[in-house]
Amino acid sequence: MIKNLVLIIFLIFICLSIMLSSNIINGIERQVISRDKLSNSLTSDNYYFYVYGLHTCPHCRAMIKFLNETYGSEHLYFCDLNTNTTCYQKFIKLTNAGLPGYVPTVFIVYNCTVTAVLIGEYEDKSFINQFMKTNMNKTIPIYVAGQGYMGDLIIKDHMSFINTYLKYDGYCFMNNQAKWSTSVEVVKHYEISQLIVPLIILSLIDSVNPCTLTLYFSFIITLLATGRKVFGPSIVFILIIYAGYLAMGLGFKTIAQILPYKILLIIALILGIYYIIDAGRRYKREMECRLCNRLDITKRVIKNPYITAALLSLLSVTVLLPCTSGPLMIFASIIRDYPLYISIPALMIYNLFFITPLIIIWIITTLLNKKRAVTDFLIDKSAIIEFFSGIALILIALYYL
């Protein structure tokens, strides 16, 4: 009887041992599998592109197509601002923090760290591949197409930022109940090279100012007709125009910093419409300087051409130029956040382009003695140029709006 009892206990012990061994083995296998999964999740396949954009945006479509074809659709999440309210709200929070509000805005997430922000169309695999690495810093570089590096996105924690703004099922599993720190800050990097393209385009559009050009041309013609020297008074006129318009640009920049910058853009848009309407009234109209007639410029030139040059240029800066300063308003809106050590040189270069037509008129009328050529141009072409300037100004204002 005792032997049988011992035998039963022994068999039970063997069974329990087998079961326990099986569980231990299974546990070890599960651990190995978990480690394998973890290891796989940290390989080069653990990355994705989170794209904020609009399905109606051609640049967004082109960027999505490139990423799909280059990296695969499983590594891409498109957050449509048109149809997804949550996406729109998240994007607005990012733009309020200082991120430019342009689309597509592409976040590169690698090994559950955000490595770069690409704004615009970047169809360059070698450029993107340099960000396919773990980012151990809290700073994320921001690149804008056509401008290059523009600054850094500063975050407190990668996982919290991803959980708030870049969550994509299948990657970076997180506890949704956890309290995440979502502090975001954009530190911009400013270079004058970023302003070259808008500077040249806007300043050239702005330089075609029929009112000021007509006033200046009439002044030069009067100097020549009365036998006065042209060089000195012309230089005075141009320098005051340059200094006055530079001061106006700094004033617009200050306004753009105080008020919503879109106010200046809307005013510029209205001025663009005015250009088009005024061009229609001006077309084929006889060239006339009403201000010259009111001031009786001939008598004033005879008395003192330098004082006359100063008077006419000051009147131009205070009365005529503000009515046609739409391009300058747009440029002031662009540089509103730029420090003075960059914005002042940028405005100085802008004004060099702005006064170029005045210098050309001076050269043609005095050195080349082509008064008739300038007269015919101002009569026949200024209205056409003003019309196209108005269209360009409207398009640029709408773009920045």
| pLDDT tens track for 287-304 | 445 555 555 555 555 567
Q: What is the DSSP string of 53-122?
A: E-TT-HHHHHHHHHHHHHH-GGGEEEEETTT-HHHHHHHHHHHHTT----S-EEEEEETTEEEEEEES--
369 vs 30, which has greater pLDDT? 369
By DSSP bridging, strand 148-155 and strand 105-110 are unpaired
Asked if residue 62 lies in contact with residue 122, where contact means CB atoms within 8 angstroms, the answer is no
Query: What kind and span of H or E run contains 365?
Result: none
Residue 38 above 50 pLDDT?
Answer: no
Would you say 152 and 139 are in contact if contact means Cβ atoms under 8 Å apart? yes
Residue 10 burial by Cβ neighbours in a 10 Å radius (0-12, 13-18, 19+):
exposed
User: Which of 211, 397, 219, 237 lies closest to 321 in space, CA to CA?
Assistant: 211
Q: What pTM did the predictor assign?
A: 0.59
- The band of 29, judged by pLDDT with boundaries at 50, 70 and 90, is very low
Q: Is the pLDDT of residue 338 over 90?
A: no
Confidence at residue 159, expressed as pLDDT on a 0 to 100 scale: 87
Helix or strand run (H / E) with residue 123: none
Banded model confidence at residue 59, pLDDT cuts 50, 70, 90: very high
* The pair of three-digit structure tokens given for residue 371, joined into one six-digit string: 């008064």
Give pLDDT, residue 362: 83
Most confident of 119-123, 365-369, 389-393: 119-123
Pairing of strands 113-119, 148-155: unpaired
- pLDDT, average across residues 75-83: 93
What does the alpha-carbon distance between residue 248 and residue 326 come to, in Å, rounded to a whole number?
A: 12
Contacts of 234 (CB under 8 A, 6+ apart): 219, 220, 223, 309, 362, 366
pLDDT value of position 20: 47
Average pLDDT, the chain: 77
- Per-residue pLDDT, 128: 94
Q: Check pLDDT > 80 for residue 141.
A: yes
Edge-to-edge, what's the strand order for the sheet holding 76-80? 76-80, 47-53, 105-110, 113-119, 139-144, 148-155, 184-188
- Check residue 272 and give its pLDDT: 76
Report which of residues 344 and 25 the model is more confident about: 344
* C-alpha neighbours within 13 Å on the C-beta side of residue 130: 8
Residue 43 has pLDDT above 50, yes or no: no
CB 183, CB 97: distance < 8 Å? no
pLDDT of residue 302: 54
Mean of pLDDT values over 169-177 = 67
Average pLDDT on 352-369 reads 83
122, pLDDT greater than 60 = yes
Neighbours of 283 (CB within 10 A): 14
| Domains of the chain listed by start with CATH number | 47-189 (3.40.30), 193-400 (no CATH)
Give the residue among 137, 53, 138 at the shortest CA–CA distance from 88: 53
Residue type, 336: R
For residue 109, what pLDDT is reported? Answer: 94
Q: How many CA atoms lie less than 13 Å away from 79 in the CB half-sphere?
A: 22
Which amino acid belongs to residue 400? Y
CA max distance for the chain: 144
- Res. 84: pLDDT tops 70: yes
pLDDT digits (tens, 9 = 90+) for 186-222: 666 677 877 888 899 888 888 877 777 777 777 777 7
The amino acid that residue 212 corresponds to is T
Per-residue pLDDT at 291: 54
